[in-house]
Chain A
Amino acid sequence: MTKLIVDGIEVDVPADYTLLQACEAAGNEIPRFCFHERLSIAGNCRMCLVELVGSPKPVASCAWAVRDCRPGPNGEPPVVNTRTPMVKKAREGVMEFLLINHPLDCPICDQGGECDLQDQAMAYGVDTSRYWENKRAVEDKYIGVLVKTSMNRCIHCTRCVRFVTEVAGVPELGAIGRGEDMEITTYLEGAMTSELQGNVVDLCPVGALTSKPYAFAARPWELNKTESVDVMDAVGSAIRIDTRGREVMRILPRVNEDVNEEWISDKTRHVVDGLRSQRLDTPYIREAGRLRPATWSEAFTLISIRIKDARPNRIGAIAGDLCAVEEMFALKDLMTRIGSKNLDARQRGSMIDPRWGRALYTFNATIAGIEKAGAALIVGTNPRHEAAILNTRLRKRWRMGQFPVALIGDRADLTYPYHYLGAGPDSLAEIAAGKGDYADILKAAERPLLILGAGALARNDGPRVASLAARAALKIGAVKDGWNGFCVLHSAASRVGALDIGFVPGEGGQTAVQMADSGNADMLVLLGADEIDVAPGAFVVYIGTHGDAGAHRADVILPGAAYPEKSGIYVNTEGRVQMAARAAFPPGDAREDWAILRALSEHLGHKLGYDSLAQLRQALFAAHPHLMRIDRIEPSDSGDIRRMADVDGAPDKTPFAPVIEDFYLTNPIARASAVMAECSAIAEGRRNLTAAE
């Protein structure tokens, strides 16, 4: 710790702090453009100049470490001034220089109202300019379908370049030319390929990079802001949903150091237009092969007639990837009352079973814990596609150095180098047996991670794969006192919550795959389940939001609410319980899913015992108390992993297959989004190009 006097206030800060951080510790705000906490220091905007007593010139506080300050002649602490006339003049000068070439197009700029340059010009600038020369004109660049450029406005802070290089790990943006003529662009103006590119819009302190899908859509002061969580993957990133009236206008990240820091993936951010198209806004009934709009009571009556023809053990329910815990709990409750044990939330046929113990289906090391890990073995997953934000944590850890990563499964570009061990379980078996050089490297590492993709368990020998992975985790020392590095990475937001409440087949019940097979079920309730093909024969009730696969197969459609339109509990892959808030209302006659189930239960004569969401939550918390602890992770028992490791049997040699074929189209909302379709087409074109080479 080093003592420092900032504007007469003595502060004691770590020596590795920058002056900017020290000034903030003393309660001073230092204006900045290029400096960003999570990026490397560039020091090129000069807005953060402060006076360091003894230095002949003002110093850039973002690039000046506290340990670089010299003490006074008699050993007094260094003195920094941020409010002297010298600092004021320096800031005004820098601001004047920045504004020489910055257009005065704030009234037509999308950044207007939330622009760092606008705010800081008001706070630290002067009211006139002494320049009358022409402003520099810069050609706009094409850098993809998500980021719109207005390069006249660029102030050369290079935050975007540093972000894509350092955090996203796809170095595609660069600054060509020099001096005044420096321009930000991609190589030959190709589209960016990062799935995190939307974040450069947030980083851009001016309106040079703005959101293309949101261009000229709304002004920040018109929007209602609702803090919520994301459901596009199992990470549960913290988001802010901005709405105007009934409509969701945009989604922005919120800071949550434990989960997403301050980044979100493009799917999270730009799925917004998918919330408007293909929506189911009224119940439908299939008559003579065609769906026709119906009323709620018609639909409920039809279901109650058809359910009488079905035997309870031939009635089933499948929950989809975006369901909140509440509606799954209500559906499970209803199915239990009907007398059916055919429940499943594992659409893709995962064999993961809550009876194995919670340690076997959560990301035990936690996302923040990745930074403490010493090595990683990734098995049967592509974290870049299945959990893009989690992958940035892995990359962040790799950038800190001394982080060997090994991969078993499908080869993919993860944005950091890894050692490829093999494609199938036999490579994992070698690690579990301690064979091979890499087993030693993993064993030698302090706190190694074993990241097991939930997709690796979506095969008939899933339990044996889980057992093998548990053995491998124990062998490399991933599970020991004070560290549980056995991590299961899910790709669906609803999955851990469903496993927590036991939304899996009861004793003798059918799995999702069995129910979907022909002749196994008379009636199926699909709660937003679109990733499964239900064979002809069964009478399908689809409760969901979009006209997607499930709705096409359905005999009755009950329109539900999408995630910004309902309050619900989601449990992320770490087992962290998070509550999403309602930001908008479902369209037309659509209702919140739990309310649909409650109304349906009354028609079926199995009335559920709750009339409000609060009552439903009371029942839920009584049954599963840990869901009450919002934002907390219930610690899991590493004994589960040891027990699982004792299960015998070797899995067969089939290689692990990737779960996600197309990052941009993994759920019905994303599939309804034109923006996601465009991103997907670009990615597809790129894949074909690479395949052709």
Chain B
Amino acid sequence: MAVRRLAPAEVQPKEFSFTAENLAWAKTQLEKYPDGRQASAVIPLLWKAQEQAGGWVPEAAIRYIADFLNMAHIRVMEVATFYTMFNLAPVGRYHVQLCGTTPCMLRGAEDLKKVCHRKIGEQFDVTPDGALSWVEVECLGACVNAPMAQINYDFYEDLTPEILARILDDLAKGKVPPPGPQIDRHFSAPVGGATTLTDPALYATAPKTAGASLKDSKAKKPGAAANVREAAVPAGPVGDSSGKRRK
């Protein structure tokens, strides 16, 4: 980890304030906390400010949030510099967070880094058209689909240097490729289809209620709540009578 500094003064906007919509949202955040503990809202507010400012936290936003929460400016600065997911300098419209932790590294993340170097430049460099920037991050929790990268809010998994290069080219043109595994694979299911439980006989008596298998379109959307399921409740295994009894 390196020393993190605010962006130079020339790129800093003079002022920052929440849009009316974000301000209303920020006020609902404050209500979550008891009186005198409003400073607890500093991280969600900084995150909102980062979204509003285009992926980074300007210095003016740090001051704005400190005043908004009645905190000392330095206290918000401490938070903003502590968490590496707060970008302190402008990033591209598509900010690539490339996972470089062990599983991804073993599956070829080093080669992906070379692609990023070639296509974008050094970490945190923004391409001249303002479209792309990249940074190597620690584990994003998609090791089973390694190597992977998070671009803005979406995971792009099972990358190869060629695929990543294509994705970056598309993004530079303003075309957003579909997120998820980039090879013939259904989420984290086995590559090239199932390798076990392949005997069709197993499914001969499967109840019809199970419905069609899950489509990508039914995938959980970013930001969806944890209790949102990705598909209908799956049918019970063959021979299990518990489901019947429940009926």
Q: Which residues of A contact B (CB under 8 A)?
A: 165, 171-181, 183, 185-188
Contact = CB atoms under 8 A, between A and B. Distances in A.
A637 to B, nearest CB: 43
B81 A172 contact: no
A535 B81 CA distance: 60
Contacts of A181: 1-4
A174 B3 contact: no
Given A176-B81, A177-B81, A177-B82, A187 B74 contact: yes
A183 B3 contact: yes
Given A171-B75, A177-B3, A181-B2, 5 more contacts: A171-B74, A172-B74, A174-B74, A176-B77, A187-B74
A174 B73 CA distance: 9
A171 B2 contact: no
Interface string B126-170: 000000000000000000000000000000000000000000000
Most chain B CB within a 10 A radius of its CB, from A165, A180, A187: A187
A173 B74 contact: yes
B3 A178 contact: no
Interface in B44-102: 59, 72-75, 77-78, 81-82
A174 B77 contact: yes
B96 to A, nearest CB: 23
B88 to A, nearest CB: 10
A185 B73 CA distance: 12
A175 B3 contact: no
A174 to B, nearest CB: 4
A188 B9 CA distance: 11
Nearest to B78: A174
Nearest to A181: B3
Contacts of B6: 188
B1 A187 contact: no
Nearest to A165: B72
Nearest to A136: B3
A181 B73 CA distance: 20
A188 B2 CA distance: 19
Most chain A CB within a 10 A radius of its CB, from B1, B74, B82: B74
A186 B3 contact: no
A186 B75 CA distance: 10
Contacts of B82: 176-178
24 contacts: A165-B72, A171-B74, A172-B72, A173-B74, A174-B72, A174-B74, A174-B75, A174-B77, A174-B78, A176-B4, A176-B74, A176-B77, A176-B78, A176-B82, A177-B4, A177-B82, A178-B81, A180-B1, A181-B1, A181-B3, A185-B74, A186-B74, A187-B72, A188-B6
Q: Is the interface of A mostly helix, strand, loop or mixed?
A: mixed
Closest 7 CB pairs of A and B: A174-B74, A171-B72, A176-B81, A187-B73, A187-B74, A174-B78, A181-B3
A178 B74 CA distance: 14
Contacts of B77: 174, 176, 187
A119 B78 CA distance: 31
B67 to A, nearest CB: 12
Interface residues of B, number: 14
B66 to A, nearest CB: 9
A172 B4 CA distance: 19
B11 to A, nearest CB: 15
A151 B133 CA distance: 32
A185 B77 CA distance: 10
A576 B185 CA distance: 84
Nearest to A173: B74
A137 to B, nearest CB: 10
B38 to A, nearest CB: 15
A171 B78 CA distance: 12
Contacts of A165: 72
B76 to A, nearest CB: 9
Contacts of B74: 171-174, 176, 185-187
Contacts of A188: 6, 59
Contacts of A187: 72-74, 77
Interface string B11-37: 000000000000000000000000000
Contacts of A180: 1
A235 to B, nearest CB: 27
A499 to B, nearest CB: 41
A172 B82 CA distance: 17
Given A171-B72, A172-B72, A187-B73, A179 B78 contact: no
Contact of A179 (B1, B73, B75): B1
Nearest to A179: B1
A165 B78 CA distance: 14
A167 to B, nearest CB: 15
Nearest to B59: A188
Contacts of B81: 176-178
A181 B81 CA distance: 10
A214 B191 CA distance: 70
B50 to A, nearest CB: 17
B223 to A, nearest CB: 27
Contacts of B4: 176-177, 181
Contacts of B73: 187
B153 to A, nearest CB: 24
Contacts of A178: 1, 81-82
Interface string B174-206: 000000000000000000000000000000000
B101 to A, nearest CB: 17
Contacts of A175: 78
Nearest to A177: B81
Contacts of B2: 181
A187 B80 CA distance: 12
Contacts of A174: 72, 74-75, 77-78
A303 B82 CA distance: 70
Contacts of B72: 165, 171-172, 174, 187
Nearest to A174: B74
Contacts of B59: 188
A165 B39 CA distance: 15
Contacts of A179: 1
A137 B168 CA distance: 36
Contacts of A177: 3-4, 81-82
Nearest to B81: A176
A647 B58 CA distance: 62
A180 B2 CA distance: 9
A176 B88 CA distance: 12
B42 to A, nearest CB: 13
A558 to B, nearest CB: 50
Most chain B CB within a 10 A radius of its CB, from A165, A176, A179, A180: A176
A174 B74 CA distance: 6
A328 B159 CA distance: 88
Contacts of A183: 3
Nearest to B4: A177
Interface string B198-234: 0000000000000000000000000000000000000
A532 to B, nearest CB: 41
A671 to B, nearest CB: 32
Nearest to A180: B1
A578 to B, nearest CB: 36
Contacts of B78: 174-176
A173 B75 CA distance: 9
Most chain B CB within a 10 A radius of its CB, from A171, A175, A185, A188: A188
A177 B6 CA distance: 11
Contacts of A172: 72, 74
Contacts of A173: 74
B100 to A, nearest CB: 18
Nearest to A178: B82
B77 to A, nearest CB: 6
A175 B79 CA distance: 9
Contacts of A171: 72, 74-75
A306 to B, nearest CB: 59
